[in-house]
Amino acid sequence: MSAAAAHVAPDLAREIEQFLYREARLLDTGRFEEWLELFAPDGVYWVPSRPGQTDPLAVASLFYEDRAILAMRVQRLLQHRAHVLAPIPRTTHLLGNIALMADDSASGEHGVECAFIMVEHREDRQRIYSGRCLHRLRRLDGAWRIALKRVELVDCDGVHSALTIPF
């Protein structure tokens, strides 16, 4: 990941922040299809199982999904027929410490990092997840799209119960 940008146009910073907030709102309000639309056609959602994991093929990940797999996951979230999703869990995604990375003008993509906390209420329990999110965003037809969302959970290699709503 490149160094934090020394100078980022305030408008651009605000625009990207608003994009991340919107993404979090879509997840918290169950608008999973609109969330999926935020991904570029070749976009990837990745939640490593190891701190510092670089290889998604030889090391298993909690999630490593392209649009086709993510689309199945989203349909499953929307149908509410999965036992673990009935009733559908409720979440709050809270983002902070948002930092834009230096512009990679060659690819036309922007890297942005943030810290997050997701509180999930499922059945009779509330769970807290936290970590860092790294987005690579790309301009596509005038809108930002996610080329890669990498979620680094602080407890990525811990003992888990079911992970349901995306981070």
Partner 1 sequence: MASITIEELRGLVKPDRVHRRVYTDPAIFALEMDRIFGRAWLYVAHESQLRNHGDFARARMGRHEVVVTRHPDGGLFALLNRCAHRGARFCMAPRGNSRSFTCPYHGWSYGPDGALEGVPYRQSYPASFRLEDPANHLARAPRVASYRGFVFASLAADGPSLREHLGSMTDAFDNLIDRAPAGEIELSDNSFQWEYRGNWKIHHENANDVFHPGFVHESSVSVAGNSPVASAAYDDGQTREMLRANGFSRREWENVELIGFDAGHSYMSGFYRAGIIAPHSDDPVRARYRAALAARCGEARAEEIILLDRFNNIIYPNLVVNAQFHQLRVVHPVAADRSIVAAHCFKLKGAPDEIFHRAVRFLNTISSPASMVFTDDVEIFARCQAGLADDADDWVDMARGLDTDRRDNDGRRTGHASELPNRSQFTAWLGYMTRAAA
Residue ranges that bind partner 1, judged by CB under 8 A? 47, 49, 57-69, 71-73, 75-76, 79, 81-85, 158-164
For residues 130 and 156, give the distance between their C-alpha atoms in angstroms, rounded to a whole number: 10
Q: State which residue, 106 or 159, has the beta carbon closest to partner 1.
A: 159
Q: State which residue, 42 or 104, has the beta carbon closest to partner 1.
A: 42
Distance in Å, CB of 33 to partner 1, minimum:
13
Distance in Å, CB of 55 to partner 1, minimum:
9
What six digits make up the tokens of 132? 């860092």
Distance in Å, CB of 14 to partner 1, minimum:
32
Name every residue whose Cβ is closer than 8 Å to that of residue 110 and which is 6 or more positions away in sequence.
Answer: 12, 16, 100, 101, 103, 104, 136, 137, 138
For residues 21 and 141, give the distance between their C-alpha atoms in angstroms, rounded to a whole number: 20
For residues 100 and 111, give the distance between their C-alpha atoms in angstroms, rounded to a whole number: 6
Distance in Å, CB of 19 to partner 1, minimum:
24
Q: State which residue, 76 or 90, has the beta carbon closest to partner 1.
A: 76
